[in-house]
């Protein structure tokens, strides 16, 4: 317990210094960083107003232990500008998918974004996330379209609920070479505009799956902000066992509001999917 406090305090102080310095590079040395045990959802390390910064975390492993159906967030960025997170591994030792069937969450979120005013530029690259709820979440229901130019590049997610969850982000989301194994929703987005998704998915025969591997939603004029979906390009490569009802799901959620989608281009490559769980792994090996 005391060691956990020291680790979290050291990380928080390092980010505080980075903010005060006006940016720069923070190198998190290789090693295991245990961030604590949680029975309630919370933000563990909060970083506010970080600009022009790179966080290098190659060889660092961030571990959280959840003990209930909650989602603690390891790193919570508020009002970031031109920030790059590079490297690292995230793992929840208490992760429990047994609640998935009732649309609940049990597991950490690695990186969370929020903004109170317009900001741009946040990149997550070369990260491995496994047995958690989110790799990256930007849920801007309260502060709609305040972060733009989000990039997720060369990341891997396994045995998890979500890969990337982006709700009412600003323009220009790019997910490039997101490699997923046994992930219920690789990408879910509401009100996306100018979005490029490149996702590879492999599932085992026993995986629970979902109604869609990629979900793109439109809610009309929701909360005074038009959520029309525009200019979406999806490239997806799927192999293994068939456990999703669809691979790309486009849907409209508000019957009492006018909205629409335009400029949607979807390319899904299906590699000998097996509904009996006896698939070979050749396609998976090709991209892994």
More confident residue, 221 or 232: 232
Q: 33-42, 91-100, 113-122, 213-222: which range is least confident on average? A: 213-222
pLDDT category at 282 given cuts 50, 70, 90 is: very low
pLDDT at 160 over 60: yes
What's the angle, vertex CA 32, arms to CA 31 and CA 34, rounded to 5? 150
Residues 56, 187: Cα–Cα separation, whole Å: 24
Residue 97 is classified by DSSP as: G
pLDDT at 272 over 70: yes
Which of 214, 216, 164, 174 lies closest to 196, judged by CA? 174
Tokens of 39: 């029975």
C-alpha pair distances (Å), 91 with each of 68, 138, 160, 185, 285: 16, 19, 10, 18, 23
pLDDT at 1 over 60: no
Neighbours of 60 (CB within 10 A): 19
How far is Cα of residue 165 from the mean position of the Cα atoms in its chain?
5
| Confidence at residue 211, expressed as pLDDT on a 0 to 100 scale | 87
pLDDT category at 169 given cuts 50, 70, 90 is: confident
Which of 113, 119, 122, 124 lies closest to 90, judged by CA? 124
Which of 221, 219, 213 lies closest to 268, judged by CA? 213
| Confidence at residue 191, expressed as pLDDT on a 0 to 100 scale | 86
pLDDT at 32 over 70: yes
Burial label for 41, CB within 10 Å (0-12, 13-18, 19+), is middle
| Confidence at residue 277, expressed as pLDDT on a 0 to 100 scale | 46
Strand 81-86 relative to strand 193-203, pairing: unpaired
Which of 65, 288, 35, 5 lies closest to 157, judged by CA? 288
Q: Tell me the pTM.
A: 0.91
pLDDT digits (tens, 9 = 90+) for 206-216: 888 888 999 99
pLDDT digits (tens, 9 = 90+) for 63-113: 999 999 999 999 999 999 999 999 999 999 999 998 887 878 899 999 999
Helix H or strand E encompassing 136: strand 134-139
Residue 281 is classified by DSSP as: S
| Contacting residues for 139 by C-beta, under 8 A, at least 6 apart | 112, 114, 165, 167
Q: For the residues 156-167, what does the mean pLDDT come to? A: 95
pLDDT at 226 over 60: yes
Q: 26-40, 149-163, 212-226: which range is least confident on average? A: 212-226
């Amino acid at each position: 317990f005391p060691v956990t406090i020291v680790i979290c305090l050291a990380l928080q102080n390092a980010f505080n210094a980075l903010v005060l310095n006006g940016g720069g590079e923070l190198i998190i040395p290789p090693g295991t960083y245990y961030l604590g045990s949680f029975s309630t959802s919370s933000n563990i390390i909060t970083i506010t107003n970080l600009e022009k910064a790179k966080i290098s975390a190659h060889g660092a492993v961030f571990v959280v232990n959840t003990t209930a159906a909650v989602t603690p967030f390891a790193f919570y960025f508020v009002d970031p500008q031109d920030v790059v997170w590079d490297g690292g591994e995230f793992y929840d030792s208490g992760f429990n998918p047994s609640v998935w069937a009732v649309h609940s969450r049990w597991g950490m979120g690695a990186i969370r974004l929020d903004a109170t005013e317009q900001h741009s530029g946040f990149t997550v690259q070369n990260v491995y996330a496994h047995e958690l709820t989110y790799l990256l979440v930007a849920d801007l229901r309260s502060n709609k379209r305040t972060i733009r130019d989000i990039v997720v590049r060369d990341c891997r997610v396994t045995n998890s609920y979500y890969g990337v969850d982006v709700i009412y982000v600003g323009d220009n989301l790019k997910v490039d070479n997101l490699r997923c194994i046994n992930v219920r929703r690789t990408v879910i987005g509401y009100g996306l505009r100018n979005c490029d998704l490149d996702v590879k998915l492999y599932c085992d025969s026993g995986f629970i799956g979902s109604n869609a591997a990629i979900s793109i939603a439109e809610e009309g004029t929701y909360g005074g902000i038009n959520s029309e979906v525009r200019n979406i390009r999806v490239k997806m490569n799927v192999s293994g066992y068939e456990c999703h009802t669809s691979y790309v799901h486009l849907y409209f959620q508000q019957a009492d509001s006018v909205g629409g989608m335009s400029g949607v281009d979807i390319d899904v490559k299906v590699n000998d999917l097996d509904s009996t769980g006896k698939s070979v792994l050749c396609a998976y090996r090709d991209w892994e």
